[in-house]
Chains A and B, each alone.
Chain A
Amino acid sequence: MAPLAPRSGDAVFANVERVNAELFTLTYGAIVRQLLTDLEEVDEVNKQLDLMGYNIGIRLVDEFLAKSNVSRCVNFKETAEVIAKVGFKMFLGVTASVTNWDVDGTSCSLILEDNPLVDFVELPDTCQGLYYCNILSGVIRGALEMVSMKTEVTWLRDMLRGDDAYELRLKLLKQVPEEYPYKDDE
């Protein structure tokens, strides 16, 4: 059977079951608030959010591959585009743009104009070191790791901190060569 053509983010999003974004936003807010109460240090909260995102990413990538018909990306540039245009759309209903490539094509920025995680959110003075959306960077890192790419994802700009956009820096550290699965009985 010939491989199916990759589907656009819009097409996939239109066909998945959806929920009100406010339920999602407020639930995320409740999680962040619990973490702040439990862990006290904002750095610890950043770490925990990243870890939760990572856990989500390694599970989410399966659904992503199954529903988008995206197969292997030819290079990191295509990978970034697919995340921005298909991945973000499919799960969060928004798209990001990809810019600021370095000369080797191994790092770039994802710019989010619309970010469903931050509705109704203001960072109080006591939380200035908090990367409120840190779960997103974890998701991307976890998902890419499942397709053999080790990446580093960091926040460059954050509107909650007074910047004019959300900017995630995506850096490819290395491509892990694919290994055949070992036999179970060995």
Chain B
Amino acid sequence: PLSKGKQEVSLSAFALLFSELVQYNQTQVDNIAELERRLEDAGYAVGARVLELLCHRDKGNRRETRLLGILSFVHSTVWKVLFGKVADSLEKGTEHEDEYMISEKELLVNRFISVPKDMGTFNCGAFAAGIVKGVLDGAGFPAVVTAHFVPVEGQLRPRTTILIKFAEEVKSF
């Protein structure tokens, strides 16, 4: 039988492991885009499994077929299970109909990361973006998902926004 999944490990154990993931991938690439793509791949593997796991455990083997349903599943259920809290916000893009954004003031995977100046826009949130993409793809809503830093006025650290742009075929839903 499937475990309830209430077990925990220390945040440091995860942070150290994640840091090894980033450092290892740094040795495998020669540019930032490639590094982000590899982190996204790793996240994708997590997302695909989380979808299966949570659909079995929480939803009686049913999976969302509505766009807003799957988005709120990601923003609430997936976030809560993986990161211990619901994501700060889920918004619809104002300029494009097919874009949605999940924002997080302090994304868990960015918490212990400071990006050196010479690495430009590199964002470890690519891992979280990969998780989101893994869940959406698995549920039948293919999308391009990217992570971005957005400066917040009066705050030292920028928030992380995960931009979801659904594929052409999703729009007809």
Docked complex: B7-27 residues within 8 A CB-CB of A = 7-14, 16-18, 20-21, 23-25
How close is B78's CB to chain A, nearest CB, in angstroms?
A: 10
Provide a sorted-by-A list of 10 A–B residue pairs whose CB atoms are within 8 angstroms.
Answer: A20-B82, A23-B81, A26-B46, A30-B41, A52-B20, A91-B10, A93-B8, A116-B9, A119-B3, A120-B53
Binding site for B on A (CB under 8 A): 13, 16-24, 26-31, 33-35, 38, 48, 52, 55-56, 59-60, 63, 90-93, 116, 119-120, 135
Q: Are B25 and A34 in contact (CB under 8 A)?
A: yes
Known: A26-B50, A27-B21. A21 touches B45 (CB 8 A): no
Is the CB–CB distance between A20 and B84 below 8 Å?
A: yes
The CA-CA distance from A119 to B57 in the complex, in Å, is 15
Answer whether residue B157 sits at the interface, using C-beta atoms and an 8 A cutoff: no
B38 within 8 A of A: yes
Are A60 and B9 CB-contacts (below 8 A) given A29-B45, A34-B25?
A: no
Q: Nearest-CB distance from A63 to chain B (Å)?
A: 6
In this complex, which of B10, B20, B41, B43 has the most chain A Cβ atoms within 10 angstroms of its Cβ?
B10
A58 to B83 Cα, complex, angstroms: 26
Closest to A89 in B: B10
Cβ–Cβ contact B28 & A38, under 8 A: yes
A48 to B24, CA, bound (A): 9
Tell me whether B38 and A16 are in contact (CB under 8 A): no
CB of A27 within 8 A of CB of B9, answer no
Cβ of B139 within 8 Å of any chain A Cβ, yes or no, is no
Instruction: Given A23-B46, A29-B45, A31-B24, check contact A92 B83 (CB 8 Å).
Output: no
Of all A-B residue pairs in the complex, the 8 with the closest CB atoms, nearest first, are: A21-B7, A18-B8, A17-B11, A30-B42, A30-B45, A91-B13, A26-B46, A52-B20
Q: Is the interface of A mostly helix, strand, loop or mixed?
A: helix
Residues of A within 8 A of B43 (CB): 30
CB of B21 within 8 A of CB of A17, answer: no
Residue B5 is within 8 A (CB to CB) of chain A in the complex: yes
Contact of A19 among B11, B28, B49 (CB under 8 A): B11
A18 partner residues in chain B, CB cutoff 8 A = 8-11
Q: With A16-B12, A31-B21, A93-B9 in contact, is A22–B42 under 8 Å at CB?
A: no
Task: Write the nearest CB–CB distance from B116 to chain A, whole angstroms.
Answer: 18
Whether the Cβ atoms of A22 and B41 lie closer than 8 Å is no
**Residues of B with C-beta under 8 A to A27:** 14, 17-18, 21, 42, 46
**Within the complex, what minimum Cβ distance (angstroms) separates A154 from chain B?**
21
Minimum C-beta distance from A177 to chain B (A): 29
Is B108 in contact with chain A by the CB < 8 A criterion?
A: yes
Measured between alpha carbons, how far is A27 from B45 in the docked complex, in Å? Answer: 8
Contacts of A33 in B (CB 8 A): 45
Q: A18-B11, A90-B10, A91-B10 are in contact. Are A23 and B42 (CB under 8 A)?
A: no
Given contacts A34-B42, A38-B28, A48-B24, whether A24 and B14 have CB atoms under 8 Å apart is yes
